[in-house]
Chains A and B, each alone.
Chain A
Amino acid sequence: MNPAPAQAPRPGSKAADGVVKGRCRDCSSFNASPAELERAFPGLASMGSGYGAVRGNDGLCAMHGRYLSGLSSCGSFSRR
Chain B
Amino acid sequence: MTAQAQHSPSSPAAQRGWSALWKVEDWWAIWIGLGLVLAAVLLFKSGSSLQWLAVAPAKWHAPAELAAHFAAQWPRYAALFVLWSVLFGLGAWSLGLPLQHFLPSFACVFLVSILLYALGQWDQASRYSLEPPLVGLLLGLLVSNTIGVPRWAEAGFRVEFYIKTGIVLLGAGLPLTLIVWAGPTAIVQAAIASLVTFGVIYFVGIRLGLDRRLAAVLGTGGAVCGVSGAIAVAGAVGARKEHAPIAITLVVLWAIVMIFLLPLLSRALGLPTGVAGAWIGTSEFADAAGFAAAQAYGGYAGHVPGIGGSADAAVNAFTLMKVIGRDVWIGVWAFVLSFIAISRWDDTGIQQRARVSEIWHRFPKFVLGFLLASAAVSLFARGLNYGDYKKTVIPLLVAPLQGLRVWAFTFCFLSIGLTTRFRELASAGIKPFYAFTAGVVVNVVLGYLLSAQVFASFWTSFGQ
Which residues of A are interface residues toward B (Cβ below 8 A)?
Answer: 8-11, 24-25, 30-36, 38-61, 64-75
Contacts and interface: CB of A to CB of B under 8 A. Distances in A.
Contacts, number: 220
Contacts of A70: 12-13
A36 B10 contact: yes
B36 interface: no
B392 interface: no
Contacts of B228: 48-49, 52, 54
Contacts of A10: 351, 353
B363 A53 contact: yes
Interface in B330-363: 330-331, 334, 338, 348-353, 355, 358, 361-363
Contact of B251 (A9, A47, A49): A47
Given A53-B362, A67-B238, A69-B236, A47 B416 contact: yes
Contacts of A36: 5, 10
A59 B9 CA distance: 12
Contacts of B348: 64, 66
B419 A73 contact: no
A42 to B, nearest CB: 5
Which secondary structure characterizes the binding site on chain B? Answer: helix
Given A49-B161, A57-B12, A67-B244, A34 B95 contact: yes
B13 to A, nearest CB: 6
A34 B96 CA distance: 9
A74 B232 contact: no
Interface stretch (B152-160, B167-175, B191-199, B443-451): B152-160
Interface string B1-42: 111110011111101100010001111000000000000000
B420 interface: yes
Nearest to A73: B351
B226 A35 contact: no
Interface residues of B, number: 80
A34 B365 CA distance: 17
B227 interface: yes
A30 to B, nearest CB: 8
Contacts of B330: 54
B425 interface: yes
Contacts of A67: 231, 234-235, 238-241, 243-244
B25 A74 contact: no
A42 B225 CA distance: 17
A8 to B, nearest CB: 6
B249 interface: yes
A58 B11 CA distance: 10
A5 to B, nearest CB: 14
B24 A51 contact: yes
Nearest to B252: A43
B13 A25 contact: yes
23 contacts: A25-B12, A33-B10, A39-B1, A41-B231, A41-B245, A42-B421, A43-B252, A43-B425, A45-B154, A46-B419, A47-B226, A47-B248, A47-B286, A48-B160, A48-B230, A48-B286, A49-B158, A53-B365, A56-B334, A57-B12, A66-B348, A67-B234, A69-B236
Contacts of A25: 11-13
Interface string B315-338: 000000000000000110010001
